[in-house]
Structure 1
Amino acid sequence: MDQITAMKAFQTVVTAGGFSAAAKLLQVSHTVVSRQVAQLEALLGTQLLNRTTRRFALTEAGQTYHEYSTRILEQLEEAALAVTRHQVQPVGVLRINAPMSFGLQELAHWLPAFGAAYPGVKIDLVCNDRFVDLIEEGFDVGLRLAYVLSDSTLIIKRLATCEEWWVASPGYLQAHGTPRVPADLAQHNCLVYSLMQKANLPTFTGPDGAAHTVGITGSLQANSGIALRAAAMSGMGLAASPAFLVHQDVKRGDLVRVLADFRQRPLELYALYPQSRHLSPKVRAFVDFAASQYREPRW
């Protein structure tokens, strides 16, 4: 008797809920599965299942054996995967969730290169700014920009640090003046990101290490960084924006960075994915590719 095969048969009977269902999954006859479980019971010298014509129940010994055999079979599968995973090509649908602004402005720059490197992967990208439960909504991996992430059952990998810059159009600054210290913001029309906590009370750290907190007001608040960037470029006011979103605008001169000597707490870019004994090749490939994009600062 092959004990591992018999153990798999027993496990399949338990998880499938019966001998017939197990036989179908294992693609063998009902008789074969029944014989394998009976041989296993004979080898162990104890009854694992109480059988009737329509149902079965685990005995106390069967429950104990089920728990141990589950771990054994998982370890065998893990050992096989450890040997072969480097030979497995990433394939299948990869569902990615990302913040709207980051997905449209930043991720779009390098995601095509990932697709070209792994042609067997079909990408399903969903961008939004609401809370998303990656497991419940069936995502393989998520990208997050946050000051800190709360405790999670997910695996978290930090990819990069992103500063927030205060920016305005040259025309706005010409008309209203350039703030030199954080307190000056109180005299300006400040465009506020509504999803940020205490957005109307930004805190800065000055060159001397001193903290500066200022109350700000403005004629626009929005839950979209892209909308605030567009408003700032139109000359509407000053906006605090992640560097990834505006660094090219600043480079071109369409926006001007102000208060550069006064820093706010930076955002951190993370990749998150569900815990698994067997991280799929497509998720591993994506996370590694994303990390490679941020080994050197992009903004």
Structure 2
Amino acid sequence: MATQDPFLSVRHFVAVAQSGSFTTAALALGLTGSALSKSIVRLEARLGVKLLHRTTRRVSLTLEGEAYLASCLQATRVLEEAESSFSSGQRNPSGRVRIDLPAAFGRRHVLPLLLDLASRHPQLDLSVTFNERKVDLIQANIDLVVRIGALEDQADLVARRLGEQKLVICGAPSYLALRGVPLTPDELSRHDCIIDWRSGYRHRWLLNNGAGQTEAYDIQVRHEMGDGEAVRAAALAGLGLVQVPTWLVSEQLASGALIPVLIDQSGGEMPINVIWARSQHMQLKLRVVVDALLLAAQESGSGFRADGK
């Protein structure tokens, strides 16, 4: 007597979940509706959870069903990638890579690398989004993220450092003429400051304390913007001071449209990392992207260096 495939009911569940219909899934699988229904019931009994809501008109996923479907699809992608890598001699990456980047930095310094990579690997598909906030990679179905700033220690994530960016505090001449130039870090608490969403709930800026160490100083937040380019625009409009990477405002500093302040104390640095979920098998398509970012970050003019070049 042949042993039944333990994952047969899993494939049945995925077919029903994706089609939203027992009838449609049964036809696609070559099963009767009764046999398919019994297979799903056995799977639910084995897992000890209810995966589907069934009515006479429609089928929908429970919360547990949504989580299980996401896990099933992720496992399927891993298997497909493994088979593809073996069949192609493990040289040709294929499949879709979902990447989330910080908006301004990502568009300027990372996206060109990804587009070049895609042009060199015709079977590599990209889904690129831009976001300044923390992302749950598994929940959001994201393969890789690039983030700027200190990282939390999370055992289920892997991070590789790409570089760092140097920060400068600056404001428009119109703002400085109205509110004055801060001469000490403590005076920042009396100025209107503009931040991006990545700053979170702790409204502080990083400055050198003169002893070779970086300290965080409290600031008075006036405006919050969605990304670095919006922060720069607000500063140019004379709405307050900003602390931004030098690469973002190099042209404005050179032209005098923005004036640096606290020059001796400014110059804090923030790390840039590429992050992905830890697993025993790193898919070839992810490895190719990570390796390309690490290689590019070592090159002069890559944008991953603290000098902003």
Q: Please give the range of the TM-score, normalised by the shorter of the 2 chains.
A: 0.5 to 0.7
Q: CA deviation at 1:239?
A: 0.6
Cα displacement (A) at 1:206: 2.3
Measure the CA separation in 1 of the matches of 2:91 and 2:142: 21
Deviation string 1:8-61 (CA, Å, 9 cap, x unpaired) is: x96x8344369xxxxxxxxxxxxxxxxxxxxxxxxxxxxxxxxxxxx9xxxxxx
> Aligned partners of 2:223 and 2:134: how far apart in 1?
23
SS at match of 1:144: strand
**Which residue matches 1:250?**
253
- Tell me: CA distance 1:141–1:236, structure 2 relative to 1, closer, same or farther (3 Å): same
Distance 1:211 1:159 in 2: 20
Residue 91 of structure 1 and its aligned partner are, at CA, apart by 1.9
Q: Contact (CA 8 Å) 1:168, 1:255: kept in 2 or not? A: yes
- Judge which range, 190-199 or 159-168, deviates more: 190-199
2:157 is the counterpart of 1:165: no
Structure 1 residue 150: Cα displacement:
2.8
Instruction: Select the residue among 250, 265, 276 that pairs with 1:262.
Output: 265
**Is the CA contact (8 Å cut-off) linking 1:147 and 1:265 kept in structure 2?**
no
What pairs with 1:220-299 in structure 2 (closer than 5 Å)?
Answer: 220-263=223-266, 266-295=269-298, 296=300, 298=303, 299=308
The amino acid that maps onto 2:185 is P
Give the paired residue count.
Answer: 240
Shifted more, 184-193 versus 237-246: the winner is 184-193
**Residue 199 of structure 1: how far off its partner (Å):** 4.6
- Give SS of 2:137's match: coil
Matched AA of 2:8 = A
Query: Could you tell me how far apart the structure 1 residues matched to 2:237 and 2:292 are?
Result: 36
Tell me what 1:208 maps to: 211
Q: TM-score, normalising length from structure 2?
A: 0.62
Measured after TM superposition, the shift of residue 266 of structure 1 is 2.9
Give the one of 138, 141, 157 matched to 1:138.
141
Contact 1:105 1:245 in 2 (8 A): no
The 1:13–1:182 alpha-carbon spacing in structure 2 relative to 1, beyond 3 Å, is same
Q: In structure 2, how many angstroms separate the alpha carbons of the residues matched to 1:280 and 1:213?
A: 39
The one-letter code of the counterpart of 2:187 is D
Distance apart, 1:95 and its partner CA: 1.0
Q: What is the aligned partner in structure 2 of residue 16 from structure 1?
A: 8
User: How much identity, in percent, do the aligned residues show?
Assistant: 25
Query: What's the offset of the Cα at 1:207?
Result: 2.4
Shift of 1:271: 1.0
With normalisation by structure 1, the TM-score equals 0.64
Return 5+ residue gaps in structure 2 as ranges: 11-41, 43-81
Equivalent position to 2:105, from 102, 106, 111 = 102
Aligned to 1:32: none
CA contact (8 A) 1:191 1:228 kept: yes
Cα drift, residue 116 of structure 1? 2.7
Please report the RMSD computed on the Cα atoms of aligned residues, expressed in angstroms. Answer: 4.1
Larger radius of gyration: 1
Counterpart residue type for residue 120 of structure 1: Q
1:97–1:142 CA contact under 8 A, matched in 2:
yes
- What is the CA distance between 1:151 and its match in structure 2? 1.3
Distance 2:133 2:216 in 1: 28
Quick one: distance in 2 between partners of 1:82 and 1:92? 10
